[in-house]
Amino acid sequence: MKTYDFVIVGAGAAGCVLAGRLTEDPSVSVLLLEAGHERRSPLLSIPAAETILMGNPKYDWCFETAPDPTIDGRSVRIPRGRLLGGSNAINGMIYVRGQAEDYDDWERLGNPGWSWAGVLPYFRSLERVTGIGGETRGRDGLIAVGPPRDRDELCDVFLAAAAKAGYPANPDYNSGDQEGFGYYQVNHDGGRRSSALGTYLRLARLRPNLTLLTRAHVTGLRFDGARCTGVTYVRDGEVERAGCAKEVIVSAGAVQSPQLLELSGIGSRDVLGGLGIPVVRHLPGVGENFRDHFAARLRWRVRRPITFNERSRGLALAREVATYLTSRRGLLSLPIALGFGFVRSSPDETRPDIQFHFAPASYGPGSSRRLDTAPGMTLGVYPLRPESSGSIHVRSRDPMAPPEIRPRFLESGMDRSRLIAGIRIAREIVESAVLDPYRGDELTPGSGVRTDDELLAYARTHGDTSYHPAGTCRMGEDPMAVVDHRLRVHGVEGLRVVDASVMPTLVSGNTNAASLMIAEKGAAMILADHGRGGPHSTGERPGTADERPGPHVTKDAT
């Protein structure tokens, strides 16, 4: 059995960032274990290919929830990346930091250093922003962020309709002031996906102190008393072990991080005892606090052949492929969701509590997102900070069996009220006279669905996840917290969790940017806690002297 200084479980967004930052110190050895394969398909670099990648078991774990009584007993897919790079390699590339108040709330919940002022330098450290001004943005990081390569006629008209309805334009919703409408910022670099895999991990793989193993499914953590000393994993049918001299870092994501902790004896006595799993540490919060953005999607037929639907077929698609190959522009360079909106559901709200995703396309339900054949458009809507929470727990001692996901998406009456209010605002905008030359019939839920009860029934029967699971190993100091503010698992030495599962509350928007930031900050804390003075432990001061991100990496270094 070989021993490493650090063992990272999971090579998604957080794991890739951690591997990149920790290996900057040549004196430490790092093992990175990923259960999925390394995939080399050209689809992984094409922004529009998310509609093909999600729902494909080669790239996606294709988790399904248990029947959810809050959405009429339906089960829904929870897509998660099943490959090197994780969900960051197959997602829609939408870059949303969230609201400043989100992080101030985290600090108020007992997590010093996680305020907006505390996390902003880490966002700046990871970003290479072009085409967007402002002092809050990073310019020399590894992850490319910018507006879409092309504007879209239908999206422009939608934004004009929002302005006509009295909503402001917002040139940078990531500046700390989120309210308004505009084009989403996207993780693309010259029309190609910009991911933690292609940046942080690509650099780390050039260093001799990283060992990367794919197809390595970690089945359990190993302990010596209250200290985590390594992992057990299965690779190509063989059971293997790896030792850890300093720390094991679990970065398997909001679904699989709590699963691994419970399989290893860290969790609620009631859950573990029912399966005969010996308790290493009683932490009843493991697997609880599951949050996700549950969306209702409204669809309309479009009168003009200018949508993604018809551009993705036949000769039109051939032209788009040629355009992409020659200039990295056109349909294939764009995410399916182009336009954003962050609004307040009522004047009583002090900040935006509803998010819109506008797509100049119409598509079927679920993770496959297969486009319609006739022109159409879609406006997705969801409450930004859902109060409804569910759970993810193991249902078997078999580490290869998926956990049981019980989301309870619409349990909260406030979430239901906000969702209905968001649907009404969406209709108000789309029914503007500005869109009259473009807008056809409302396909879903249909113009006859008008009352609150009817709209809620539609959301229950047709709503779906927005692919933002978080919170299942949440950070804090109360009895239900799993990790402390330095992401160390309570009561266990040598073990941290660093991924979206540590979020105490769901950020206001898409979660990938926050996951990258959590890993940047987590890496700084890990290096500082082990007395490492490498590149990542110096530079811009975020809040405490021992949590400083490293100097910006120039574009040439990527």
- Residue 149 per-residue DSSP state: S
Q: For residue 468, indicate whether it is catalytic.
A: yes
What is the CB neighbour count within 10 angstroms for residue 226? 12
Helix (H, G, I), strand (E, B) or coil at 115: coil
Q: Whole-angstrom Cα distance, residue 23 to residue 534?
A: 9
Report yes or no: 517 and 483 within 8 Å, Cβ to Cβ: no
CA 477 to chain centre: 24
Q: What is the 3-class SS of 430-492, one letter each residue?
A: HCCHHHCCCEEEEEECCCCCCCHHHHHHHHHHHCEECCCCECCCCECCCCCCCECCCCEECCC
Q: Please list the residues that pair with 81 across neighbouring strands.
A: 60
Geometric angle at alpha carbon 252, from 80 and 216, rounded to 5°: 95
- What's the token pair of residue 190? 């010259």
Phi and psi angles of residue 309, each rounded to the nearest 5 degrees, phi first:
-55, -55
The contacts of residue 119 (CB under 8 Å, 6+ apart) are 103, 517, 521, 542
Of 188, 357, 468, 552, which one is the catalytic site residue? 468
Q: Helix (H, G, I), strand (E, B), or coil: what is residue 159?
A: helix
- Distance of CA 31 to CAs 348, 421, 512, 518, 536, Å? 50, 48, 23, 20, 19
CA distance 552 to 533: 16
145 is in an annotated binding site: no
The pair of structure tokens assigned to 558 is 């990527």
DSSP β-ladder status, 30-33 and 210-213: parallel
**Residue among 354, 400, 33 nearest 215 (CA):** 33
Residues designated catalytic: 468
**Binding-site residue ranges:** 218
